[in-house]
Structure 1
């Protein structure tokens, strides 16, 4: 399911919701355990897991960008800076599985926004595949999702100079 993008007072939110047939502990580990995290987002690493702590992002050129953890509740919430914006994961037990909500707070759309949104969509697909013991062709999935997210962003009336 694609993100729902809405305009809010100071920009936009893109909300992704997924239901996993996995325990809350398994889903939480995907977000916070570096071994699990590397399986779906190899550039990202948890350095200090607490509010005010940080994650590092490998820029691929030998440099790292540190992203402050803006909200943290063990087993429930992980939110961190994402450039000028914020990414927030919320998880909760639902029935025999776990509901995950990813919210990206977007201060302004850029030419890169649709790429990021498609990327988050595919990351969630990869998490689901990993939890189910399946594999997924990340690049192929991204190529399918990116045009859809371009359309979604354009449908918000966004234009770039």
Structure 2
């Protein structure tokens, strides 16, 4: 099971995941920045004004209210960061060799007790991203397989020592 790493970033709690894809950075960039491709793996539908200071809008997540945030960084094809509620999400890409890309996802948390919950969610979402980048998209993070994977991931993150206790949104 893929577990996130808990740490502090600039004095705030955060979880971190890292993946290496056998695809060029431009392909992975599309998967993490294009709203049509985000639909395959990201928990909400998203629109993004592609510039620092732009608005990012989140909608259509069956477990969360629609909301908007601010783009903190938009540097194709290597960095995208934005606010999401009180959290920040940082996606960083770097080439590995000639045809691979390392993706680092960091979720800076507003609430320390959300670490295990959010890490479990990102583990599920990144599983869907893995399929999308391999051009074999699944049912998305709210599909049956992904939903079934969340609870074991959450329990594993708690067992690994990530802080817990934040409310878990009910399934629709």
Q: Into which bin does the TM-score normalised by the smaller protein fall?
A: 0.7 to 0.9
SS at match of 2:39: helix
Q: Which of 70, 74, 87 is residue 72 of structure 1 equivalent to?
A: 74
- Distance in 2 (alpha carbons) for counterparts of 1:62 and 1:108: 16
Structure-2 residue corresponding to 1:23 = 24
- Distance in 2 (alpha carbons) for counterparts of 1:142 and 1:19: 22
SS at match of 2:52: coil
Higher relative contact order (CA 8 A, sep 6+): 2
Count, aligned residues: 157
1:1-161 pair list within 5 angstroms: 1-8=2-9, 10-41=11-42, 43-58=44-59, 60=62, 64-95=66-97, 96-110=99-113, 112-134=114-136, 135=138, 137-152=145-160, 155=161
Cα offset for 1:46? 2.3
Distance 1:8 1:79, change over 3 A: closer
Larger relative strand fraction: 1
Answer with 125-134 or 17-26: which moved more: 125-134
- CA contact 2:121–2:150 (8 Å) conserved in 1: yes
Cα offset for 1:159? 6.8
Distance 1:24 1:8, change over 3 A: closer
- Distance in 2 (alpha carbons) for counterparts of 1:68 and 1:33: 16
